[in-house]
Amino acid sequence: MTPKELMISRYEAFVKKDWQYIADTSTHQTLEELTIPTNIEWLKLEIIDAYDDTVEFKAYFKEDNQLGVLHEISKFILVDSQYKYDNGEILNTKIQRNELCPCGSGKKYKKCCA
């Protein structure tokens, strides 16, 4: 599995709340060490760039009826011939007014959930 494929599968695990998979595909986090979000609804994953051992993505979510975006540059390393999530740099990003709303309405964010 490539880092990009692993990133996609980890996002899907967050959607399904499969915390064991998140822990198993991480180099540093055990299930007991995970900070488990309880009231986040994941809406959409956008892969911005993927190269070598790095994946830049935006993950859109709804928390307490507020839309948000997690913009991260993630690093992966090989452990026993399999990639695992190692760490990430979180970028300060907001949902842009003219981009499509992550709620899936098909409208621009500024005319929908802003």
Left (φ > 0), alpha (ψ -120 to 50) or beta: where does 20 sit? alpha
Domain residue ranges in the chain? 3-111
Rg of the Cα atoms in the chain? 15
Rounded CA-CA distance 96/108 in Å is 9
Q: Is the pLDDT of residue 66 over 90?
A: no
Q: Is the CATH number 3.10.450.50 carried by domain 3-111? A: yes
pLDDT digits (tens, 9 = 90+) for 97-106: 888 888 878 8
Percent with pLDDT over 70 in the chain:
100
What angle is formed at CA 55 by the lines to CA 32 and CA 19, rounded to 5 degrees? 20
